[in-house]
Amino acid sequence: MKLSSVLFFFTIILFCFSRDTLAEANYEFTIGAGVYALDVDQKFGEQIEDDSNAASFSFGVYRDSGAEESTDDNLNNQSFWGAVIEYSVPLGRDDNLPGNGRMIGFRPVNYLMVFDESSSMEFYAGIAQFDWIKTANGYLFGFDYRYNLFGEKSGLMADFKYYQDLAYDSPQGDDIVDGFQSSIKIYYQF
């Protein structure tokens, strides 16, 4: 959690170095519900499944990449780079599993492509932290598809991500957590 917070704060500072940045930045908040499908592989033990429903929240900052200029005032054919911090908490998780199953992610690499007035897609990569017996640290990769349902900058998002090599040392050797999370989210940009 501390590393994710420091990296997110550092990214915000980078966005704020120029005085024009705040006018050009888009901020985004999401809230959603989804499903975890995680596997815990113990080096000298059994494989454990940690599957549950999850609630998730995220906050991100995006800037126009400047790659393509739009000919009108809307966001058609534009692309954005951004940084996002996200938090997921399991709902209905098996009580016999260790830890609380909370997942924190920091995505410093987010590329958002706007196709037209109603749809866009984002690809991202970052680091994640999973609360198991100990805190397991690793990587995350994913993409989402967005549909502007409530206006130009708000709507529904289908988000799919993969957690890779979330690892920590244990008495049995290294324990590795891998798996998927899929979510339906509501997003709002301001």
β-strand partners of 164: 139
Three-state DSSP class for 22?
helix
| Total of domains in the chain | 1
- Determine the structural domain holding residue 93 and report its residue range: 2-189
CA within 13 Å, CB half, 14: 13
Per-residue pLDDT of the chain (190 residues; tens, 9 = 90+): 555 555 656 555 555 544 444 457 889 999 999 999 999 887 777 788 999 999 999 999 999 887 655 454 555 678 999 999 999 999 999 888 888 999 999 999 999 999 998 999 999 999 999 998 888 999 999 999 999 998 888 999 999 999 999 988 777 677 899 999 999 999 999 8
- CA nearest to 59, candidates 83, 81, 79, 25: 83
pTM of the model: 0.82
Q: Where residue 78 sits, what CATH number does that domain have? A: 2.40.160.20
Residue 151 DSSP class: E
Using an 8 Å Cβ cutoff, are 103 and 132 in contact? no
